[in-house]
Amino acid sequence: MKRIAVLGATGSIGTSTLDVIARHPDRFRASVLGAHRNVAALAGLCVAHRPELAVIADPALEGELARRLGAAGVRCAVASGHAALTAAVSGALCDTVVAAIVGAAGLDSTLAAARAGKRLLLANKESIVLAGPLLLEALRAGGGELIPVDSEHNAIFQCLPGGRPDLRASGVRKLILTASGGPFRGRTRAELATVTPDQACRHPKWSMGRKISVDSATLMNKGLEVIEAHHLFGAPADAIEVLVHPQSLVHSLVEYADGSVLAQLGNPDMRTAIAHALAWPERVAAGVAPLDLAASGTLQFEAPDLATFRCLALAFQALLAGGDAPAILNAANEVAVEAFLAGALPFLAIAEVVEAVLAELPPQAAVDVESLVARDGQARATARRLLRRAC
């Protein structure tokens, strides 16, 4: 029986994870559930899944959570604050941690799970973009393992021999990440000037949280995933390619020296990657309909439009710049996306803010978590200053 901590339980990945867990009560148990402020949803999940511990990150809501659980007759421990999240993933209540908090807010708990030697199911890509080498070092020190949940990386993991081998020794030539292209594929810059947050969040294939939906619309999501793939699989930037594939059925591919290209396919439903990561190296049902290729029509592939969707080019640039440039990119993007979602920044200005922050803060060596967190803060402050000037 795997005892699983689900952080970001109330989100899109969190609820999909709990759906898969509930299908296999003989194998999986959700022992810890964590959320930020959505106390009503967290209490509802506790009623359904009966964890041993529920953690709400906002300390002001701990009493409210306890009251709701008491009224519902749920007997589970309640805690609050980010320190409680990191303690929960480090302690004896779980052997597996699903890191599904959105943004850099997930860094501490992701690192803590790695240091504690847990099996880390990583959805929170921002934490590996921010602190890739430190996260890998924490994993080595903890002796645990990381199984990618992000569908592209999960697909690559499935197409590599033994999951995460030495790429060169295995004859791997290239990792090819597919991108849906988002809701604005094919649009010109002029057409993108006035798009709204609701339009950006209306993804044609995937149902996701609002931040990643905007990242998907700007192609920053793919940029973050390029950096994620670099760290996860030890691939240099020039061995990672992005291919737009609007049908979202081929989740990524690996090209080998002999010309073979292996791909992983499936319907666009995160429960497949989640079930794979939960059960690996075994396989379990995910509740996802079988892929009907005969009915799915033509599969298209095309090069991304880097001139229109500049965030992808900026992410490659940050990866090549090295040091803490990816952390700067990520922090500036989080601030810009928040402003766009609040209606305070035009869509195209997201890339402009990220580019300006990268230009103001030349990369420094990423030596430890404290200095990275400080640089993340500096990048956020710089982005906010630029936003104030722009508005």
Q: Which residues bind Mg ion (CB under 5 A)?
A: 150-152
Q: By beta-carbon distance, which residue lies closest to ligand NDP?
A: 11
The label of the residue with tokens 């990672």 reads: 240
**Cβ of residue 33: shortest distance to ligand NDP, in angstroms?**
9
Only segment of 112-120, 131-139, 207-215, 353-361 that touches ligand NDP (CB under 6 A): 207-215
Residue 318 contact among ligand NDP, Mg ion, none, beta carbon within 5 to 8 Å by kind: none
**Cβ of residue 206: shortest distance to ligand NDP, in angstroms?**
5
Here's the x/- map for ligand NDP, 76-115, by CB under 6 A: it reads as ------------------------xxx--x----------
330 forms part of the interface with ligand NDP (CB under 6 A): no
Here's the x/- map for ligand NDP, 261-280, by CB under 6 A: it reads as ---------x----------
11 forms part of the interface with ligand NDP (CB under 6 A): yes
The one among 14, 182, 304, 326 contacting ligand NDP by CB under 6 A: 14
178 marked among binding-site residues: no
Q: Going by C-beta distance under 8 Å and a sequence separation of 6 or more, which residues neighbour residue 97? A: 4, 5, 7, 89, 109, 110, 113, 118, 119, 120, 121
**Cβ of residue 133: shortest distance to Mg ion, in angstroms?**
21
Angle 324-328-334 from CA coordinates, rounded to 5°: 145
Contact 387, 353 (CB under 8 A): yes
57 forms part of the interface with ligand NDP (CB under 6 A): yes
**Cβ of residue 151: shortest distance to Mg ion, in angstroms?**
5
**Cβ of residue 57: shortest distance to ligand NDP, in angstroms?**
4
Residue 124 contact among ligand NDP, Mg ion, none, beta carbon within 5 to 8 Å by kind: ligand NDP
69 forms part of the interface with ligand NDP (CB under 6 A): no
**Cβ of residue 269: shortest distance to ligand NDP, in angstroms?**
9
Number of C-beta neighbours around residue 283 at 10 A: 9
Read off the tokens for 353.
């803010």
**Cβ of residue 174: shortest distance to ligand NDP, in angstroms?**
22
The one among 18, 111, 128, 150 contacting ligand NDP by CB under 6 A: 150
Nearer to ligand NDP, 144 or 148 (CB): 148
Positive or negative, the Cα torsion across 77, 79, 84, 89?
Answer: positive
The one among 44, 81, 204, 209 contacting ligand NDP by CB under 6 A: 209
Nearer to ligand NDP, 88 or 356 (CB): 88
**Cβ of residue 221: shortest distance to Mg ion, in angstroms?**
6
Nearer to ligand NDP, 123 or 139 (CB): 123
209 marked among binding-site residues: yes
Nearer to ligand NDP, 312 or 386 (CB): 312
**Known binding site for Mn(2+): residues?**
150, 152, 225
Per CB under 6 A, residues contacting ligand NDP are 8-14, 35-38, 57, 100-102, 105, 123-126, 150, 206, 208-209, 211-212, 270
